[in-house]
Chain A
Amino acid sequence: MSGQTVPADFSGHMLDLDEDEDLEVFSKNTSLADGSPMPNSPSSMVNQYRLEEDEEEEQQQDADTKDIFITVDNPESHVTAIETFIMYRVLTKTTRSEFDSSEYEVRRRYQDFLWLRSRLEENHPTLIVHPLPEKFVMKGMVERFNDDFIETRRKALHRFLNKISEHPILSYSQHFKVFLTAQELTSHKKQGPGFLSRMGETVRAVANSVRGLRNRPEEFTLMQEYVEDFSNKICSVDKVTQRIIKEQREYLDELKQYGPTYTQWAGSEEDLAEPLKGVARCVEGCSKETEEQIQHLSEVLVPALHEYVLCAETLKAVMRRRDNIQAEFEAKNEALASRKPENQEALQEEVDGLADRVELANNALKGDWSRWQKGMRTDLKSAFISTAEKNVDYYEKCLAVWESFLLSQRVEPSEQRDGEDVS
């Protein structure tokens, strides 16, 4: 089977309008020479030892050829008789020909994002679909309509849509287009594999996993191991970061008590009052910087790490689904071997179909795997760099505060001792 139509929809048994349109959309794009990492053959798939230069070139080209811009903003409270929820504005600007217009503005709620993501996962079970922010914040149960929570969620939703729009396959999904353009989403939500069919798939999946895989290819075993390890590590980094924020907050609280002790003392002093107040001001200044630094951690590093904690779970699910697809094929293949000749032909066709499905699934995953790793590296690298930069900035600002105090005392900052002493 040629690799040309590779990452097309292959959920197999259910063919409906969405999937046909996906196919069409995709085939248009294979003619575009935009250098995006479309896997051509299994052998050119993710080679973990691939050279850096190619990947960076591709990223550059992606940036240049970006033809769709999405923002999520303007959260507004919606009150109905039954419930209250938040609606976000989703603004799309695009030059893509598939879109009738160049600008769209719709309102979406969190549930709508969930719908979109589940459709994408259904249609592309072994592609790595970026995760959504969680439904609730478990730890320290925050009220759903707390401003910080809404803002954090809004940012994550914005990132989600942008990640999807950057994905060479997912961004051309019909569901994605509908999500971005349809004023009313409810009618579209009703289409697609029903609940029962989804149930059926799950049951089969469980049955297959019980059987166990006969022959998982080495590379997927390695991938599986990596995913496990990565999940552990990223969770640890996330925990450490949360702990740092906690300690910083406690430090800040004490600083806020500490500064005023100098001011209070200054009240009973004469000559000493001025330097005491100077130190109080310095401590105050450092408190402000500490506050900013904590904020930066919370706004930059924590969300990035958290995203990849969720990604790790997504990866695990993708690995499971790939395994299930292979398991299904293996099951039918075995049945073929033991079946009576009367059903041979039909069964053979079925098995062939499943074999293709396995190959498609594997290729899709391999292709997306390298893409995901690149993205992870870029995202986390940038978050860590930003954090390090902020910390340097924090110390530079505190340094300036203390140096200005020294200057006010008419001491050169470079002097270690009071140089006036003549013994």
Chain B
Amino acid sequence: MAEDGKGEPVATDDDSEHLAVDGSSNNTMVEESCTLLRRMEICVAEAEKRSGKNAVNMQETFTVYLIETRPMDAVAEGRNPAPDSLWRRYSEFELLRSYLVVTYPYIVVPPLPEKRAEFVWHKLSADNMDPDFVERRRVGLENFLLRVASHPVLSNDKILYHFLTEEHGWKEVVYETGFQAKADSRLRALSATFRVRNTDKRFMDMKHYSDELQSHTSQLLRARARVADRLYGVFKVHGNYGRVFSEWSAIEKEMGDGLQSAGHHMDAYAASIDDILEEEEHYADQLKEYLFYAEALRAVCRKHELTQFELEMASQDLISKKQQREELATGCERFSFKGMTNKLFGQEAPEQREARLKLLEELIAEGEEAVKEKTVECEEHVERAWVDMQRFEEQKDKDLREALINYAVMQISMCKKGIQVWSNAKECFLKM
């Protein structure tokens, strides 16, 4: 998982400043690129509550997040210039992501932190205004920006750059790209069912995998939340020992001191669970990121299906048109409407036939163009998507392995605390 301010090292280190200024749709895939993160230090420093009127002129409270950026070379040289900063709210992040998803359908676009708290165990507030939730969201948003800014393709996007550097007018610029129209059709396409004949097996496997990833991570998260809930109960009940031992110690002579101090340790034990579970939430957030990543992965696979489907449709259309031309040219039209009308109303005039042929030729030419385009689109998508999916898989394995290791470290820390508390309690009992 990307740490704050420091970029994830991309495959190979490339110092040349190949900055693609034009960051929109016809980006050429550069495998070793100098990512934005190498040039700029980015962080989401703070969160603040604001009030304002919303779209329907109603008063609402929302949270804004402060994005700070600093040129990396200044940092490296030891200078400490004040960072540039601007405020953005969650919905603007959502807009940025929508834009990226539509503009780069062959990229597994990093997900945003969850909109609403899910997989909560009872103590954790599901309220979006809860400070702990806001803090975790801040971290999640920073993580999102770092991931995007270190991505070999996404990091070159101009809209992204504007998002980070220009507070006002950004929304207008995004809408001007016209991505919205594409977004709508994309949404429709993704949820539609269609039958495709020739899909790339790798993509189908990957789609299947994304379903599995989604299902498994959500099961895990649910089970973990329940375990956390129960563990909370166990620790908190020990707090009752603290109270009772204290009361009991008041009526005892020799046993009193030992009981009293043991009681204090029980109180400490009961209190320790809050921090332990707070830390575990970070682990849960790491897993959640990949739960949401699964959806992004799935979208790329679906896009493949879609382009493949469109290609097949275009090919089908071309074939049938060619067939029509064939029939028209040879004078035998089989089961066609024209054929029927001919039989009913008599043969058409040669001029009319000529006109139809000419039209058909045009349509065929167009159709051939379309097929060519679609083929290119399909092949490009397959090529680029496959590269990014590989990159994603590597990143996922590394990140999740690290998350599991961190989880183990957390568990070890909790065990050490437990050993401490109960050893202390034992000392107190010995003094009873």
List A residues at the B interface (Cβ < 8 Å).
Answer: 48-49, 52, 226, 229-230, 233-234, 236-237, 240, 243-244, 247-248, 250-251, 253-255, 257-258, 261-262, 264-265, 268, 270-272, 275-276, 278-279, 282, 286, 377, 380-381, 384-385, 388-389, 391-392, 394-396, 398-399, 402-403, 405-406, 409, 411, 413, 415-416, 418, 421-423
Contact = CB atoms under 8 A, between A and B. Distances in A.
Interface of B: 3, 6-7, 9, 209, 212-213, 216-217, 219-220, 223-224, 226-227, 229-231, 233-234, 237-238, 240-241, 244-245, 247-248, 251, 253-255, 258, 262, 396-397, 400-402, 404-405, 407-409, 411-412, 415-416, 418-419, 422-423, 425-426, 429-430, 432
B311 to A, nearest CB: 30
- For the residues of B in contact with A, the DSSP-based class is helix
A237 B429 contact: no
Given A251-B234, A268-B212, A384-B429, 4 more contacts: A247-B234, A272-B396, A276-B404, A389-B426
Given A233-B251, A240-B237, A251-B230, A264 B425 contact: no
Contact of B230 (A254, A262, A403): A254
- For the residues of A in contact with B, the DSSP-based class is helix
Contacts of A385: 426, 429-430
A49 B233 contact: no
A384 B245 CA distance: 12
Contacts of A380: 255, 432
A391 B216 CA distance: 33
Given A254-B230, A377-B254, A406 B412 contact: yes
Among B262, B422, B425, the one with the most A-chain Cβ atoms within 10 Å of its Cβ is B422
A416 B409 contact: yes
Nearest to B38: A423
Contact of A261 (B219, B247, B402, B415): B219
A229 B247 CA distance: 9
B225 to A, nearest CB: 9
Among B3, B251, B415, B426, the one with the most A-chain Cβ atoms within 10 Å of its Cβ is B415
A396 B241 CA distance: 22
A282 B408 contact: yes
A263 to B, nearest CB: 10
A265 B253 CA distance: 57
B244 A405 contact: no
A154 to B, nearest CB: 27
Contacts of B429: 381, 384-385, 388
A250 B404 contact: no
Contacts of B430: 381, 385
A398 B6 CA distance: 34
Among A49, A52, A275, the one with the most B-chain Cβ atoms within 10 Å of its Cβ is A275
A41 B419 CA distance: 49
A399 B408 contact: no
A422 B8 CA distance: 9
Contacts of B230: 247, 250-251, 253-254
Nearest to A255: B227
A268 B415 contact: no
25 contacts: A230-B251, A236-B244, A243-B240, A247-B234, A247-B237, A248-B234, A250-B233, A255-B227, A257-B226, A275-B400, A279-B404, A279-B407, A377-B254, A377-B432, A380-B255, A381-B255, A389-B422, A391-B425, A399-B416, A402-B415, A403-B412, A413-B412, A418-B405, A422-B9, A423-B9
